[in-house]
Amino acid sequence: MFEYRNGELWAEDVAVERIVEEVGTPVYIYSKAHFVSQFKRFDDAATRNHTICFAVKANSNLSVVNVFAQLNAGADIVSKGELFRALKAGIKPENIVFSGVAKTKDEIAYALENNIKMINVESEDELYAIDEVAKSLNKKAPIAFRINPDVDPKTHPYISTGLKKNKFGVPYDEALELYEKANKLDGIEIVGVQFHIGSQLLDTTPIYDASVRIAKLIEALNDRGIKIKIVDVGGGVGIVYDEKTDKEPDVNKYVSDVEKAFENFDVEIVFEPGRFLVGNGGILVSRVVYHKKNLNKRFLIVDAGMNDLLRPSLYSAYHRIAPVKLTGSERIVCDIVGPICETGDFFARDYEIEDVPNSGLIAVFSAGAYGFTMASNYNSRPRAAEVMVDGNSFKIIRKRESLEDLIAGEVL
């Protein structure tokens, strides 16, 4: 939903430059049409009873989450704060699943008091904590164990979550014993099985392989009289960041493969897409401040930094970067860097781009997921504004932080 018209970048039917004139930089700009389109692609691919739970960690802005609430989506949350946001954005509690390895008793209580769909248990210790909290509230906690199927997702090691060495989930070989223990607890209601092997998967075959392993586990649980109603297959479906090297995953095949793996069971399937729904529906727009040369090295210095978009510094992640206005000027090879006092503050290194003059604008694409949601105030920098475009109009959905916002809550 971002395209060039007569050399100028547009978001849907609004010129990006027009947004910047009103809102300033840095600014995140989102396309509502992209979010809706991606959700419908996923939803239309499913033929069985299912719930699509948007992974809130990908983009937690209330207006973004509300787009999916209006489409009757659920939410995958990993903290009390994300649960609070999901509820405020209009997600129905019965469509919310709670993941994460370190849920506190306070968070567990908040989830149970709000009657969410399911808590995904990641350790035996956590199981007993949930049981204790549930009994104190005179409730039964609906749970699934997050199973670690030990399937290699073939992705970046920082976002691989389904191997034995990862901190997530319980070992596959210990799952039966843990389910039997859970089945004896008064505060626990076993409703499902969950797994999530990693993120940014362009080849979804590993998810099918993991599904086959989980199907065998469900069969063994059924043989022991433990009925599974929900299979949560996590998220992880990737997006195209680099059109030269990345190939978009076939979401229809992915969903079909998952449904095939569980065809012998009467279960609801829960999907947890995040990046797939919002990643390519957002850009980060920044203004060029200076050009600089150090010997043979060239730098394009912009007003956004790693505090605004962390992925390149954290993962050495690739994002396509281009001028907001194409002028036909010479192409240069440069490092595109920000103002943060860290050598790791960069968006790209040795990147070829049409030169952008000082005060000109660049767009960092594929910034709708894990962009603002990972932003910080490092170097005491106010966080960027967020804007939602809907057709030929746009709305500020998060105001730019002020200097006073930086010290809110602090005491001298």
List, by residue number, the catalytic residues. 341
The helix (H) or strand (E) run that includes residue 337 is strand 331-337
Q: Please say whether the beta carbons of 217 and 193 come within 8 A.
A: yes
- Give the span between the Cα atoms of 345 and 84, in whole angstroms: 32
In angstroms, rounded to a whole number, what is the distance separating the alpha carbons of residues 399 and 409?
Answer: 18
Phi-psi region of 150 (alpha: psi -120 to 50; beta: other; left: phi over 0): left
How far, in whole angstroms, is CA 305 from its chain's centroid?
20
The tokens describing 294, both together, are 């150090």
Geometric angle at alpha carbon 311, from 399 and 243, rounded to 5°: 105
Cβ proximity of 9 and 324 under 8 Å: yes
Are 183 and 131 contacting, i.e. CB atoms less than 8 angstroms apart?
no
Please give the distance of CA 195 from its chain centroid, rounded to a whole number. Answer: 16
Residue type, 105: K
Q: What is the DSSP string of 63-91?
A: HHHHHHHHTT-EEEE-SHHHHHHHHHTT-
Rounded (10°) angle between helices 32-45 and 251-261:
40
The total of other beta-carbon atoms located within 10 Å of residue 130's CB is 26
